[in-house]
Amino acid sequence: MTTEQKKLVEDNHNLIYSFLRKVNLDIEDYYDLAAIGLCKAAKGYNPDKGLAFSTFAYRCMRNQVGQEFRKENMQKRSGDKEILYYDKVIENEDGSTAAFRDLMPAQTNVEEEVVTSCTLRDALEHLDNRSRRIFYLLSQGYTQCEIAAELGISQPSVGRIQRKSSRQVLVMQGVG
């Protein structure tokens, strides 16, 4: 974080408490998540957009807490299932043994994912600031309507910029 961003967090620290009280969450349990959201808000805030920092910070804190709720719900839904570790040695019916990882074909190519991720990051760097901002907000879970309000443009404009930028990124990746 820059010095300016740190100062923004320090000056608005009490937003954490007001946010948690407003959404009726226990301060001890959710303080850390709200603090992370406040830091993300400080890093992503642009005062030129006309949105108050407190409003933007509330959104970021809500997103951070919501992300944790979704993660907890996923764990609850899969909590009663048996955990099978990747390196676990399994005995076959004929008495031979094999590691679980040898029995399960890899469904993802990690090397390909890393190359794609790096290429995508390089391609995104060639976009203008507004297009990059739109992609960032989309990745944070914002809707096109919320992005439009934040950037001061219409929702259809956000959609057009998103499609145009997506085509540019695909061309830069050599896909389009």
Choose among 86, 109, 84, 88: nearest CA to 97. 88
pTM (predicted TM-score): 0.44
Structure confidence by residue, pLDDT tens digits, 2-40: 888 888 888 888 988 998 898 888 888 888 988 998 889
Measured distance CA(54)–CA(44) in Å, rounded: 13
Domain ranges of the chain: 1-79, 108-176
Choose among 122, 137, 133, 136: nearest CA to 168. 122
Structure confidence by residue, pLDDT tens digits, 119-135: 777 777 778 888 888 88
Please report where in the chains the tokens 């919320």 appear, as a residue.
146
CATH fold of 108-176 reads Arc Repressor Mutant, subunit A (1.10.10)
Structure confidence by residue, pLDDT tens digits, 72-86: 777 666 555 556 566
Distance from chain centroid for Cα 41: 13
Of 29 and 172, which is predicted with more confidence?
29
H or E segment at 91? strand 89-91
80 is written with which tokens?
A: 């009663």
Q: Look at residue 82 in the predicted model and tell me its pLDDT.
A: 59
Measured distance CA(111)–CA(98) in Å, rounded: 25
Question: Alpha helices of the chain — where are they, by DSSP H?
Answer: 3-11, 14-22, 27-44, 53-77, 100-103, 110-125, 129-139, 144-151, 155-173
The answer to whether residues 69 and 27 touch, using CB atoms and an 8 Å cutoff, is no
93 is written with which tokens?
A: 């019916």
Torsion-angle region of 25 (φ positive above 0: left; ψ -120 to 50: alpha; else: beta): beta
Measured distance CA(46)–CA(134) in Å, rounded: 13
